[in-house]
């Protein structure tokens, strides 16, 4: 998978991809990350990337020409490419969108700034507009980092063999269960007995139950949005009864 990030602040990205899973994915050639300075696609001496909005009003708008040139430079002749604009107006980026992106071979991320980008860019150039949440950041750079990190974790081989994307929060549409590690006793606090029992079937059952419990308490919307098997439905009813008691 190749990520192309188009930004007016390329320096923001120095360092962020040099750690952990993303770094390993780059080193293993599972992904490539190319950062493009939008100002390199301007023509004038001032390398201007924004201008005042037609019709007046506050703030500046990102000009169309540099964005058209930049996107065309990185996508011409490339099949199966998504061009995503990061903006608070986009559809919500979550695990399902990440999974969709992870199936592509190329993803272009345009980091919006100022009041927004010229609508001709939105209409003609982008295939997708995504927001990482219902809050307004100063630009699309941090959201682009979020997208690269989340999508990279889903690329086959990116996670070590002891880790698995399938077991994590959200991949099954549920929150993660609680984790414990050594020491077995700390300030009189002990992990649940079952985790030390060596009984793998019981451990699995406990973890699943905790996942469902936590999801019901914190994010009932996730359960509502799932299609449930009969077993799951029964388990949820049992847990709800326990929570009531
Ligand atoms: N740019 C500013 N706010 C944003 C958000 N919430 N998501 C994506 N891009 C943004």
Q: What is the pLDDT of residues 68-90, one digit of tens each?
A: 999 999 999 999 899 999 999 99
pLDDT at 42: 98
pLDDT at 196: 98
Cα distance between residue 157 and residue 173, in whole Å? 22
Residue closest by Cα to atom 4 of ligand 1? 88
Return mean pLDDT, the chain. Answer: 94
Mutate to test the pocket of ligand 1, among 140, 144, 150 (most ligand atoms within 8 A of CB): 140
pLDDT at 162: 47
Q: With 80 as the cut, is the pLDDT of residue 161 above it? A: no
- Please give the average per-residue pLDDT across 108-122, as a whole number: 95
Q: With 90 as the cut, is the pLDDT of residue 230 above it? A: no
Lowest-pLDDT range, 72-76, 203-207, 238-242?
A: 238-242
Which has more confidence, 137 or 227?
137
Measure 14 CA to ligand 1 centroid, in angstroms. Answer: 20
Which token pair is 166? 């399938």
Q: With 90 as the cut, is the pLDDT of residue 173 above it? A: no
Q: With 50 as the cut, is the pLDDT of residue 120 above it? A: yes
pLDDT at 164: 62
Which token pair is 239? 């847990």
Measure 141 CA to ligand 1 centroid, in angstroms. Answer: 8
Cα distance between residue 52 and residue 92, in whole Å? 28
Ligand 1 proximity of 7 Cβ (cutoff 6 Å): no
Question: Contact 18/33 with Cβ under 8 angstroms?
Answer: no
Confidence of residue 202 (pLDDT cuts 50, 70, 90): very high
**Helix 141-152 and helix 20-27, axial crossing angle in degrees, nearest 10:** 70
Confidence of residue 30 (pLDDT cuts 50, 70, 90): very high
Lowest-pLDDT range, 182-191, 193-202, 220-229?
A: 220-229
> Which of 136, 151, 132, 139 has its CA nearest to residue 91?
132
């Amino acid at each position: 998978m190749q990520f192309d990030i188009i930004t007016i602040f390329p320096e923001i990205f120095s360092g962020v991809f040099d750690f952990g899973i993303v770094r390993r994915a780059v080193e293993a050639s599972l992904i490539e990350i190319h950062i493009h300075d939008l100002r390199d696609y301007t023509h004038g001496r001032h390398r201007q990337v924004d201008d005042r909005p037609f019709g007046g009003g506050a703030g500046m708008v990102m000009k169309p020409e540099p964005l058209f040139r930049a996107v065309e430079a990185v996508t011409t002749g490339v099949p199966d490419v998504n061009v995503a604009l990061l903006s608070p107006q986009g559809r919500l980026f979550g695990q399902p969108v990440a999974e969709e992106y992870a199936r592509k071979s190329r993803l272009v991320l345009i980091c919006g700034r100022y009041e927004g980008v010229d609508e001709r860019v939105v209409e003609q150039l982008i295939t997708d507009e995504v927001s990482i949440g219902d809050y307004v950041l100063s630009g699309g750079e941090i959201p682009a980092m979020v997208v690269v990190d989340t999508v990279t974790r889903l690329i086959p081989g990116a996670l070590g063999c002891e880790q698995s994307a399938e077991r994590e929060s959200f991949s099954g549409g549920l929150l993660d269960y609680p984790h414990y590690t050594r020491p077995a006793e700390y300030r009189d606090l002990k992990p649940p007995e079952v985790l030390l029992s060596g009984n793998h079937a019981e451990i699995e059952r406990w973890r699943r139950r905790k996942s469902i419990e936590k999801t019901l308490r914190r994010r009932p919307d996730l359960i509502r949005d799932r299609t449930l098997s009969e077993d799951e439905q029964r388990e949820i009813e049992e847990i709800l009864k326990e929570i009531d008691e």
